[in-house]
Amino acid sequence: MFHAEGRSGVRTIVLAAIMAWLLQPIYGQTAAVGSDAGPGHGWAGVGLFTATDDGKRVGRVVPDSTAGTMWTVDAAVFVADRIAVGVDALTLGTVTGSQSMACCWLANQEKETAVLASGRWRTVRRRRIALDAIGGIGAVFQHRDTQSGSQYPRTAISKVESGRSPAFELGIDVPLSLGRHVVISPLARLLFLQRDQTNAHVPVESSAPFAVGFIAGVIW
């Protein structure tokens, strides 16, 4: 499920963007974001997003916390009419999980970051609004800190591991002009995250979280 604070923040920002877009005729001076889709034009931005809970990140242990609101950095350059290539970097946050049994205990903390090469197709373009279809391929970088031990006597062993697995994305952006070189874009992403086994005691599974949020950036 989406986190309440994430949903509220995304709704507020999206509503503010829509209001600013509707008020643009009063002030003018907007860039024709829809027409800036030819070779040499591009954009770069940073944003926030929230995603469906991804408990599979901590394997079969009981999740104690979720990743919450996460960051993304995005940049793209048009290489042909309506076609752009770029890169997406997403911090997927840190989640924790634990399990306690009569014999032993286990606690797991896992941090992920995804970096993907992306392609964009500007399917709709108007003066102040556009619609981009996005696909990407890359890797998800995992950092896991696992602590485990016996209950009686109480012991603890710590193990830190790192891994890298394939990642894919499908999504849409809706760039809205807020100024001559400023845009804000609601986003939606479906991520496909594969995960390799790095610890025999913490089996993990691949997942496909769905994310929504926004990016604020500049266009040229």
Domain 4-96+111-140+166-219, CATH 1.20.1440.230 — does that match? no
- Confidence check: pLDDT of 176 > 60: yes
Return d(Cα 143, Cα 88) in angstroms, integer.
19
Structure tokens at 5: 């604070």
- Say if CB 68 and CB 6 are below 8 A apart: yes
Task: Grade residue 57 by pLDDT with cuts at 50, 70 and 90.
Answer: low
- Confidence check: pLDDT of 10 > 80: no
In the chain, where are the structural domains located?
Answer: 4-96+111-140+166-219
Higher-confidence residue of 126 and 184: namely 184
The reported pTM is 0.73
Return d(Cα 209, Cα 50) in angstroms, integer.
10
Structure tokens at 181: 């070189």
- What pLDDT, on the 0 to 100 scale, is given for residue 180? 78
- What pLDDT, on the 0 to 100 scale, is given for residue 63? 58
> Would you say how long the chain is, in residues?
220
- Confidence check: pLDDT of 166 > 90: yes
- What pLDDT, on the 0 to 100 scale, is given for residue 127? 78
- Say if CB 176 and CB 128 are below 8 A apart: yes
- Say if CB 193 and CB 140 are below 8 A apart: yes
